[in-house]
Amino acid sequence: MSAKDQEIAKKVIEGVGGESNVSSVFHCATRLRFKLKDTAKADKEGLNNTPGVVTVVESGGQFQVVIGNNVPEVFKGIMDQTSLKDAESADKVEESGEKGSWLNRAVDMISSIFSPLLGALAGAGVLKGLVALFLVLGWINQESGTYLILNAASDSVFTFLPIFLAITSSRRFKTNMFVSVAIAGALVYPAIAAAQSAGTALNFFGIPIVLVTYTSTVIPVILAVWVQSYVEKFFASFVHQSVKNILVPMLTLLVVVPLTFLAFGPVGNIISEGLASGYTWLYNLSPIVAGLIAGGFWQVFVIFGVHWGFVPIMLSNLGELGYDTMLPLLAAPVLAQAGALFGIFLKAKNRDLKALSGSATLAGIFGITEPGIYGITLKYKKPFILACISGAVGAAIIGAGGGRAISFALPSVLAIPAYVGTGFATTVIGIVVAFALAALLNLFLFQEPVAEASASSAPAATSDGQPAAARVEEAVSAPAESLLKKEIIVSPLAGAIQALDTLPDPAFSSGAMGQGIVVDPTSGHLTSPAAGTVTTVFPTGHAIGITTDGGAQLLIHVGVNTVRLKGQFFDKKVKEGDRVEVGQLLLEFDLEQIKAAGYVTATPVIVTNSAEYLDVLKSTESAAKNGDYLLTTIV
């Protein structure tokens, strides 16, 4: 682990409000997933500006810090620098604060149970696909020892999946891990499996047992460990300390294992079969439509972290049907994002953008899309949309060909061997189409923003003597860091700050003219909110347009319908084409006379090209003076 990873870990700990504010933390392929006691203590903006942090997402009841490929090293740094422990913190139930909605809790539970397994599942899935490919090519045969060993290596994780899930579930539900493993072991015990295969009728003290196959299942063992958490606590509450370590595990096994075979196992199996059958029914209605939906929206699910909810369905399909049709569909949107990044890489002239898009393309090809999404495609909007469209087209092709996965593998080029069999050719074609289409669309349609030099201006004085400052914060030089550019827009007037939708003028309040904010002035001195060039001065003097040095196109419109005054009460101080600095006087107007004439003087300050920005942040203050902070444009 490098010193840089240690420094990122330190900054992240500080940014989430310190170790004392962390209820739990674990990581997936690219994100640190925190459960915080009080999210208000977290410095989200500070984390977003931290070198090495791609972005911060709040979703599914989690505070997610997106790091990228080196998230395991940063996570280890957090473990080294705090008293949090992996076995304890990964699934520690939050001790305070709201638990959130049932959906948040469900997503949180699923992600915490499956995240630690993804590496083993994906690696074994790719190996299983390669073994199948070797069989098709005739490189090995099923009677050979080579096949037997490789098949065992690739299939063991899936065959004994309940045992692996028992380990992660025990952490989630805070149970004795070894007792959980013993319960799972009973479900896949060879004699039980043999009795089920032979159709032997079994009973437990006269109560008939419905035997089902528990190998490769997901839900039965999770239900069993959840029940174990309550049974274990019950016995621990009264068993004497001197024999607790022996009697509590014994009594827990005595209760939970029979209950699982009698009730929770069959119920869980019915749920698993229902999920698999329900998805298959929907898929069979129209595989092409299923592909369009999955391909078009999968990366949206990833952004909000709710994609974990689909993992049990995929595993249920593999366990119940022996294959899954969802996994091949998802390869298209993942590779489409990589294709979009590749198109930007080919077109970009900015050195930092080219470097970042190049490295993100490589990561995307291998299934890690978050750095590219948050760092580039989502930031510029159009590349993300074009990639989603391309992913939908590619997934529709895969659906039309009936693509299937014979094992679980995270969508990437490495997963292609897992798609060997039915629909393999169309699956490969769909993946290639998704990648190529996204690359071509972005190559021709993506417009690279004009790079601005980093600049800052010293505080200037307004006509009222108030300090004013505006600056453009440029992208950092390191490719791994954010390319965000920010420009601060200060208030051109003194007065009360109001939301744009409060203005009694639908042309502005609807947002049709762009995002912005309203200042209800207390004086008639209008000063420049940023350094730039005057692009428009209405003949009547009631409105002025400025293009800032940072590229923002601002419209300052004094009052509502004041154009009807035909210039009366307005005194222009600049003309079109003039260069203006922050705080420079642009216009004077007679506030009282305008009010006396029956006009509303509330003044919208609009960023008319706000569609080109990732966001336009507004001041949360109730009032401002000339030169006080008003807006921030982020691109």
Hey, which residues does 533 pair with through a beta bridge?
547, 579
Instruction: Kindly give the residue spans of alpha helices, DSSP state H, lying in 401-474.
Output: 424-445
Q: Are 409 and 311 in contact (CB under 8 A)?
A: no
Angle at 342 between CA 339 and CA 346, to 5 degrees: 140
Residue 375 carries which DSSP code?
Answer: I
Catalytic residue among 9, 12, 25, 28: 28
Q: Is there a catalytic annotation at residue 28?
A: yes
Nearest Cα to Cα of residue 523 among 619, 626, 380: 626
How many Å from the N-terminal Cα to the C-terminal Cα in the chain?
33
Residue 195 CA to residue 188 CA, distance in Å, equals 11
Residue 379 CA to residue 484 CA, distance in Å, equals 8
Query: In this structure, are strands 460-461 and 467-468 parallel, antiparallel, or unpaired?
Result: antiparallel
Amino acid 543 reads A
Q: Which residues of 376-407 are buried (b: 16+ CB within 10 A; e: fewer)?
A: bbbbbeebbbbbbbbbbbbbbbbbbbbbbbbb
Instruction: Give the CA distances from residue 330 to residues 78, 234, 337, 416, 420, in Å, rounded to whole numbers and listed in that order.
Output: 32, 44, 11, 12, 16
Instruction: Give the helix/strand (H/E) hosting 485.
Output: none
Residue 38 CA to residue 136 CA, distance in Å, equals 55
Q: Are 442 and 383 in contact (CB under 8 A)?
A: yes
How would DSSP label each residue in 67-134? Answer: --TTHHHHHHHHHHHSS--HHHHTTPPPSSS----HHHHHHHHHHHHHGGGHHHHHHHHHHHHHHHHH
Residue 281 CA to residue 276 CA, distance in Å, equals 9
Give the other-Cβ count within 10 Å of 233's Cβ: 13
Nearest Cα to Cα of residue 316 among 285, 270, 283, 284: 270
Nearest Cα to Cα of residue 103 among 310, 301, 306: 306
Angle at 399 between CA 290 and CA 373, to 5 degrees: 70
Instruction: Kindly give the residue spans of alpha helices, DSSP state H, lying in 466-519.
Output: 506-509
Token pair recorded at residue 584: 């420079």
> So which residues are the catalytic ones?
28
